[in-house]
Each structure stands twice: as C-alpha cells, then as structure tokens.
Amino acid sequence: MVCRKNFKIIIISIIACLFVMSIIFAPGTYAADRYNMSYVYFGSSIDYYQNVENTKNSLHGISPNYFNLQDDGSLELTQALDTYFVKEMHRQGVKVVPFLSNHWDREKGIKALQNRHELTDQIADAVREYDLDGVNVDIENVTETEREMYTDFVKFLRDKLPEGKTLAVAVAPNPYGIKTGWQASFDYNGLARYSDYLMIMAYDESYPGGPAGPVASYNFVENTIKKALTEVPKEKIVLGIPFYGRYWKNGAAKGGNGLSNTTVEELIRNYNGKVTFDAVSKSPKAVITIGSKDVKPTIFSTKLTEGTYTIWYENEASIKYKLELVNKYDLKGTGSWSLGQETQNTWNYYGMWLNGLYYKDVQNHWAKESIISMAEKGWMTGVSESTFASDYPLSRAEAAVILVRAFGLTEIYGKSVSFKDISNHWAKKEILIAAQNDIVLGTGDGKYSPNQLLTRQEMAVMLDRILNSLKDANYAWNPYKDVSKSKNSWSYNSIMKLTHYSIFTGNPNGTFSPREITTRAQMAVLMDRVSAYINGDGSVLAGK
C-alpha cells in the first residue's frame, strides 16, 4: 500500500513528465514589444491618470486631444493640455503625442490644409514649448480634392518638427480602394513616406445613420490590412482597435450612436441583455429591452426610451481576433480609440495577445509579468500555443534548458560528460552543455534523472553555480525559520547568497520551503530577477 503523501508525489511526477514530453522547447517567435498607443479624449486630466494606470504599464504612447483647429485653419490649444500630466507620463516612459483634429468639420479641415505653412510652424512651436513628443494628424472628412495638399501638409510637418519627434497620421480604412470622398483624401504611400506610422482607423464599418452591423468585422479589418500593405511597409502600420460599440433601436428610422464597451456591459447587466457572438464577423451582438417601468439610461446626453435595442460592440474575443491579425501580418502595433472606454479586464490580456503570447492561463496569474518577460526573451515557452502551465512543477531537464538559454551557454569541446538516462531525451543537448559548464550535476549511478522534479533549494544551488561571479553574501543573516546550516548544509550558502541579491525572497510567513517543488511560474519570477545580473552576451555582472 502506497501512503497518501507518496502517492501524491508520484501523480505530480507523472503529470509533469507528460507536460515536459509535450513541450517543444524552442525559443518562441514573439514580437519583442509591439507598439501600443491609445487616444485620450473623454474626461479630465484626473481621469487620464487613472486610465493610464489601468493599462498596467503596457502603453508606449498616448494621444490626448490637445490640438484643435480654429475656423481660419490655425492651431487652437485645448483646455485639456496639462504640463504636469505630460511630465508624469514621461516619468513613466510614456510618450505624449497629441492628436490634431478638425472633429469632422470639413471647412476647418480644408482651411487647415490651405494654411499648412503657418499651421505647421504653430504645431512645431507647441511641441517644443510644452515638451511634447510629436503630433498625430487626424484631419477627417476632406476629400480627394485635398489629397495632394494633405500629403504636402505632412511633408512640411516632418521638416519642421524637432529631430526625434513622432509624426503619425490617422487614416481612414479603405479596403475596397475607394477613389472619391474622405477615404480618397489619404495617399497612403505618400503619407507613410513622411510619417513614422499610419494609424489606420479600422473601425466604423457600421456608422451613425447606417444599418445595424459590426463596428469592425474580422474580414473588414483583415481586408483593410491587406490593402494597406500594398502601399505601406508593415513596420509603418498601426492597426486601430475600437473600445466602443454602436446601438440601434428596433423600429427607429435611424441609429448607430456610439457607446463605450464599459457602458455596453452595464446595459447588458441592467436590462437582462442577451449576447450572441457572430461567427462570420467575429463580433459580439447584444439585445436589450427597456421596459416602461425601467430606469431610462442616458448615453452621452441622450436618454434612451422604452423599446428593444441591438448593440454591436467589442469584447475580449473580438479584440483578441484583431490582435492576432497584428501578429499574422507582423504590423508595428495597435492604436485604440479610446482610453477609458475599454472594459476592466482588457489590459489583463491586451499586451500578451498584441505580442503573440496567447496563454489563457496567464492572464490573471500572479506571475504574469515575469512569464511574459521570459517568453519574450525566449528563455521559457509554453506547453502549447495557448497554455503556459504556470502552476505545474519544474523538472531537472527544464531547468537545464532554461539556464542554457538564459546565459547563452555553449558546448565545451574536449570536456566529456555523459549520463546513461538521457540518450533519447528531448533535452539531451542542453543537459550536457549545462553539465560541461558545471551548472548541473548527476543524481548518482551515472544518471541525470531529467524528469525528476526540482526543489527550491536545488534551484538555489544551480543558480548559485551560474552566478558565481557575484560576491558572496553575509551568511550570518538568516531570515528563514525553516533553513539552517545543520538541516540544509549543502544548500544553505546558496540560499543565503540568492536571498542577499533578492533573487529569492521567501514566503510571507518567514519560511523558505527548501524542499517544496519549484513551479514553472516561480522559475519565471526567479529568472526575471536573475536577468538584472546578466549582460547582453549572457555573462554575469561581476561583483555586483
């Protein structure tokens, strides 16, 4: 009869072995860090701070509504301009690139393009004066008649903006090659020549006054990308992602007004909404009914009346499909409209999916940031495209592979090492390299035991061997009540040293749990901390 404790260990070992066998341990083909910007339009500076905070450090840039146009086409600075906010964004490493808008006013747009010499001077001066990081041109609803002037305007801006400042242009989607109207005002090729990127507004497929339908169906977005790639290099395309929906009242003559994704969720909850996901458009649709006795909600100053409403919007599934397209076509990144309209969980997955990390078990995991970091570095990968297996135990084979990758270890010719139990093992090469570099040892009797699970104290010793150029710690200081020289004679110094360098931090209750099995998530966190001590060539910082 096997005791319950030993039975549990056996089961864990079997599960770990099965997972390890399923892993293709090759560096992932992930983007290092695709560009992620968002527009800021609604609310005040106080809201802006919170909205940026909610993104969990995933934004590279924001485009607030600081630049408007006056009737004569000259620059108007809006009341939203806040120099303290700009400084705080810079402190956080976020670029502030205001968008210049005519807010669909055709006459203002035309005047601005006609006034391009003076206007570009004014924009360049404002960028310098307020320490801004560039400008995002968003002049809409002019036509093919202004096409050449539009490109000329952007060319002048490029010449006048200080060196190093960002110049972006928001352009209409044009998957069908329309040659008249506002879509035709954008010369993709010419605008891309003078700008850092084009922000393609791949949304409003359905619009106010038009029939009910998706804001941005999958085929519409993909066709928009394909058409743009015939004129613009992929590294200059930023795909617009909508954080909003549109609603139509059944039986009304017209509809299509906008509302945030957050508001859509509230309406679904408050009015017993029914949600379906359209397989063709890969878009969600909600139907709500407001009864005569129900509280009538107000959306952007419009009070909804009794009746049934159809809402097309964006949710986690539809946004993920769009983010997958960014990776499929290897685009520069995304730009979202607009920050603060997204649902609360959006930033749990957005940065991961944007960079090709489709791990469903990581989105809300405590070690998410470290797992992402390891995957992007190629030091650790998932057990499948959609699963990282964060909480599964780590094997000795996996540990060897991770350390060889992280430190760039290579075979030492002429140094003979062999283990009789790895001849057909998937990690044979990395195990031998790690052994040649004196990072790992065998378990006795000529074996390595590659599928044996790794304890925390064993991991400490392995890391200590590879971080041997770091100065030794003061071993008299011991913060752990379950570690001692007598009980952990072979691992004590390693545990203390890695604790001194904050690689190990122990448990909140003052224990280290030296014999506890190391999980893949714990390993990701350890290696993320270790990365601070590794040079670009894989060597260890000496004496830090």
Q: What DSSP letter does each residue of 2-14 carry, written as one string?
A: --HHHHHHHHHHH
- Asked whether the predicted pLDDT for residue 25 surpasses 70, the reply is no
Segment 289-311 shows an average pLDDT of 97
Out of 22-31, 218-227, 258-267, 526-535, which region has the weakest mean confidence (pLDDT)?
22-31
- Asked whether the predicted pLDDT for residue 486 surpasses 80, the reply is yes
* Contact present, 333 and 35 (Cβ < 8 Å): yes
Segment 307-343, tens digit of pLDDT: 999 999 999 999 999 999 999 999 999 999 999 999 9
Alpha helices in 102-146 (DSSP H): 106-114, 116-129
Segment 391-404, tens digit of pLDDT: 999 999 999 999 99
* Contact present, 405 and 534 (Cβ < 8 Å): no
Closest CA to 23 of 430, 444, 365: 430
- Asked whether the predicted pLDDT for residue 198 surpasses 70, the reply is yes
Residue 317: how many other CB atoms lie within 10 Å: 11
- Asked whether the predicted pLDDT for residue 422 surpasses 80, the reply is yes
- Asked whether the predicted pLDDT for residue 450 surpasses 90, the reply is yes
* Contact present, 134 and 168 (Cβ < 8 Å): yes
- Asked whether the predicted pLDDT for residue 3 surpasses 70, the reply is no
Q: Which pLDDT value is given to residue 45?
A: 86
d(CA 112, CA 78): 16
The three-state secondary structure class of 404 is helix
Strand partners, 63: 39
pLDDT band at 438 (very low <50, low <70, confident <90, very high): very high
Q: Which of residues 63 and 540 earns the better pLDDT score?
A: 63
Q: Which pLDDT value is given to residue 27?
A: 37
d(CA 392, CA 396): 13
Whole-number average pLDDT of the chain: 92
- Asked whether the predicted pLDDT for residue 184 surpasses 90, the reply is yes
d(CA 250, CA 271): 15
Alpha helices in 381-440 (DSSP H): 396-406, 428-436
d(CA 256, CA 204): 10
- Asked whether the predicted pLDDT for residue 22 surpasses 60, the reply is no
pLDDT band at 475 (very low <50, low <70, confident <90, very high): confident
Segment 128-136 shows an average pLDDT of 98
- Asked whether the predicted pLDDT for residue 63 surpasses 90, the reply is yes
Is 140 among the catalytic positions?
yes
- Asked whether the predicted pLDDT for residue 5 surpasses 90, the reply is no
Q: Where in the chain is the domain with CATH 3.20.20.80?
A: 35-243+316-354
Closest CA to 222 of 350, 149, 314, 326: 326
The region that residue 106 occupies, defined by phi over 0 for left and psi between -120 and 50 for alpha, beta otherwise, is: alpha
d(CA 110, CA 106): 6
Alpha helices in 213-345 (DSSP H): 218-229, 261-270, 316-328
For residue 66, which amino acid is it?
Y
- Asked whether the predicted pLDDT for residue 10 surpasses 60, the reply is no
Segment 373-392 shows an average pLDDT of 92
Out of 53, 76, 118, 140, which one is annotated catalytic? 140
Out of 164-173, 273-282, 370-379, 416-425, which region has the weakest mean confidence (pLDDT)?
370-379
Tell me which fold the domain 35-243+316-354 belongs to. TIM Barrel (3.20.20)
